Structure 1
Amino acid sequence: MTPSDAAQAQEHPVSPVRIAVVQSAPRAGLHHRAANSERALDLAERAVRDGATLVVLPELASTGYSFRDRAEAYAHAEDVPGGETVRRWEDFARRHGVHLVGGLAEREGVRLFDTAVLVGPDGYVGRYRKAHLWNREKLWFTPGDEGFPVFETPIGRIGLLICWDIWFPEVPRLLAQQGADIICSVNNWVWTPPPIFDEAGRCMAAYLTMTAAHVNNVFIAAANRVGTDRDARFLGCSLIAGTNGWPIGGVAGSEDETVLTADVDLVSARSAPIWNPLNDLVRDRRTDLYDPLLGYRLGQAFPR
């Protein structure tokens, strides 16, 4: 192969994907559930018409976020994969030949989970149950204990995380170490004590997403929601971060429902993250100095 042939081969995308993140505004209450699902899929349909082949919806996209109590959360929850919402997402993915990730409340017996689901043209692919629960979520959801799965698909390897997970750097690192080409991050990022946004209009969650993409050489598609749901207000700031960390196509605003898209070669995340002749993210890791719990044993001497 000549140098020009090699250059052409590198320029030709191996797995071209148009990613879309949907920023919607679902509301809690059983009487809102049908409208929540319709609106999310209407925005997903818009993305597909624009050529999207991987669509990411927010956390709890079909139910809204602010349950009054555990009984209401239980009433909103569904089986996975047998429930109505997953079936509708499967039908959408089959009809359009796309992959779709979305969040919902899952019921297994009497246990409830905050769950992200991946479906594709051939139906249900897999789920991830949120491991790190935020605030009152702990009053109705059980934390997931099935680890952090990465799913092999025809377009690439897809990992899932949910909202508060991004504050724990171990989560994107574990997904990247398992070979994820992209992490689909479904979110309900809420307003916290100010300052909420910087001068560029970005929130801390956006910067955490960018940082995780940068230090792990992985795409991250983060779909958040907007609006107010009972007593909670949400940040927006959805984004698609490239493997270098920078947003592809900007960061969404804090008020409006919208769809962001980005064209990427998904498996380009598998290229070695070598930034100069002497530094490589993977080779430079000092695993000989990291204890099996990533340093947590050291912290036991100084409890907070």
Structure 2
Amino acid sequence: MKFPKVQLALVQMRDAGSKTASIAAATTWIERAAAEGAQVICLQELFATCYPCQAEDHTMFDLAESIPGPTTDALAELARRLEVVIVCPMFEKRAAGVYHNTVAVLDADGTIAGIYRKMHIPDDPLYYEKFYFTPGDAGQPRASVGPDKPNGFNVISTRYAKLGVGICWDQWYPEAARLFALAGADILLYPTAIGWIDEEKEEFGAGQLDAWMTSMRAHAIANGIFVGAPNRVGIEGRVEFWGNSFIVSPRGEVIAKANSADDAIVTAECSLEEMDVVRTHWPFLRDRRVDAYGDLTRRFID
């Protein structure tokens, strides 16, 4: 069945102090969003734990778990009961010594519709993710892709929409957004954990936030697609996560947005038929010179 209109909800919340408390808090928000008509509900990056990457600390690996595991089991039952799609970002232990920053997409019947493992891994002050996370897999034969065999930037099909799901640092890369769009995504989602560092906020804070939103609005425009980005909120260590979770139309208009301080649900109706209207008036996909882009696979053109 084709759903021409999809109610999208983003959950913006702070760390609740423990995995049990965070799952309970997320459950409350998901139930509220579902009661208000949401069909696809996306949580923030690493929603069930603190943001673990402010230091290189081996004890943080204890926060990770397998997929399926306790967190996906709990949210899968919730998805089945409410008949909603839940985008569940988490710290995944794939094997001994192999950990990922991962999203498990739980379909409206409680099954795992697909998995995405973060492809672009940052290494910045207080964001030491390369210490923790192995980059996601790319280059597997497409025939081998399935819920437990993610492959690069493939789209995840759910009851209500086809989702392209990146994670935080992925949101800065136009190549990733384009590949999700070309693979047939209806909605791009970027669960996020981004914020201000104390000593930088006064001078750079406004510009950082504006750049973050502008980058994803540009993805929406260039690809004629809906984009949603749920972000953490609250202060953890030296980082003030800036919230501002938002949903963007295929024209790049911000159609729903939270503030920088409060836990919140951000909701909007995504009329998927609008994508065709936008893409025929702004025919960027039609006019691509696919014969001339080979150098994009090079690190730098010397």
TM over 0.5: yes
Cα contact 1:119–1:126 (8 A) shared by 2: yes
- Taking the aligned partners of 1:267 and 1:100, their CA distance within structure 2 comes to 23
Equivalent pair of 1:73/1:105 in contact (CA under 8 Å) = no
Gaps spanning 5+ residues in structure 1: where? Answer: 1-12
Q: Which residue of 1 aligns with 2:145?
A: none
Please list the CA deviations of residues 65-85 of structure 1 after superposition, one character each: whole Å capped at 9, or x if unmatched.
1355453232000101x2111
1:72 lines up with 2:59 in the alignment: yes
- The answer (yes or no) to whether the contact 1:252–1:258 under 8 Å persists in 2 is yes
Contact 2:100 2:133 in 1 (8 A): yes
Cα offsets for 1:101-135 (capped at 9, x unmatched): 02100001121100011001222111100011122
- Cα drift, residue 181 of structure 1: 0.5
**What's the CA shift for 1:155?**
1.4
- Call closer, same or farther: CA 1:147–1:70 in 2, change over 3 Å: farther
Partner of 2:45: 59
Q: Which runs of 5+ in 2 are unaligned?
A: 138-150
Superposed CA RMSD in Å reads 2.0
Is 2:12 the partner of 1:26? no
Partner SS, residue 90 of structure 1: helix
Question: Structure 1 residues 188 and 132 mapped into 2: Cα distance closer, same or farther (>3 Å)?
Answer: same
How far the C-alpha of 1:209 sits from its partner, in A, is: 1.2
- Which secondary structure state, in structure 2, belongs to the residue aligned with residue 127 of structure 1? strand
Query: Does the aligned pair in 1 maintain the 2:108–2:159 contact within 8 Å?
Result: no
- Aligned partner of 1:185 in structure 2 is 190
Secondary structure of the structure 1 residue equivalent to 2:30: helix
Task: Answer yes or no: is the 8 Å Cα contact 2:251–2:278 preserved in 1.
Answer: no
Corresponding residue of 1:285: 288
Maintained 8 Å contact 1:66/1:232: no
Partner of 1:108: 94
1:138 to 2:107 alignment: no
1 CA distance for matches of 2:273 and 2:280? 16
- Three-state SS of the structure 2 residue aligned to 1:108 is strand
1:261 maps onto 2:271 in alignment: no
Q: 3-state DSSP class of the match of 1:255?
A: coil
* Structural mapping, 1:1-304, within 5 Å: 14-26=3-15, 32-67=18-53, 68-80=55-67, 82-110=68-96, 111-122=98-109, 123-135=111-123, 136-145=128-137, 146-191=151-196, 193=200, 194-197=203-206, 203-249=210-256, 251-266=257-272, 268-270=274-276, 273-275=279-281, 280-291=283-294, 293-294=295-296, 296=298, 299-301=300-302
After TM superposition, give the deviation of residue 295 of structure 1 in Å: 6.1
Percent identical residues: 32
TM-score, normalised to structure 2, is 0.86
Deviation at 1:203, TM superposition (A): 3.1
Largest Rg, 1 or 2:
1
Q: Structure 2 CA distance, aligned partners of 1:295 and 1:141?
A: 23
2:301 and 2:255 map into 1 onto residues whose CA distance is 40
Which letter does structure 1 place at the counterpart of 2:296?
A: L
2:162 is paired with a residue of what secondary structure? strand
Give the letter aligned to residue 268 of structure 2.
Answer: A
Deviates more, 1:69-78 or 1:210-219: 69-78
Please report how far the alpha carbon of residue 14 of structure 1 lies from its aligned counterpart in structure 2 after TM superposition: 4.4
Q: Does the 8 Å CA contact 1:189/1:205 hold for their aligned counterparts? A: no
Contact map agreement 1:273 1:281 (CA 8 A) in 2:
yes
Provide runs of 4+ in structure 1 moved above 4 Å: none
Q: Distance in 2 between matches of 1:114 and 1:70?
A: 16
Distance in 1 separating the partners of 2:80 and 2:3: 23
Give the 3-state SS of the residue equivalent to 2:8 in structure 1. strand
Does the aligned pair in 2 maintain the 1:18–1:264 contact within 8 Å?
yes
TM-score by length of 1: 0.85
8 A Cα contact 1:25 1:226, kept in partner: yes
**Per-residue displacement from partner, 1:221-278 (whole Å, max 9, x unpaired)?**
11101111123221111101111111112x2211111111101223543556122xxx
Measure the CA separation in 1 of the matches of 2:43 and 2:157.
Answer: 20
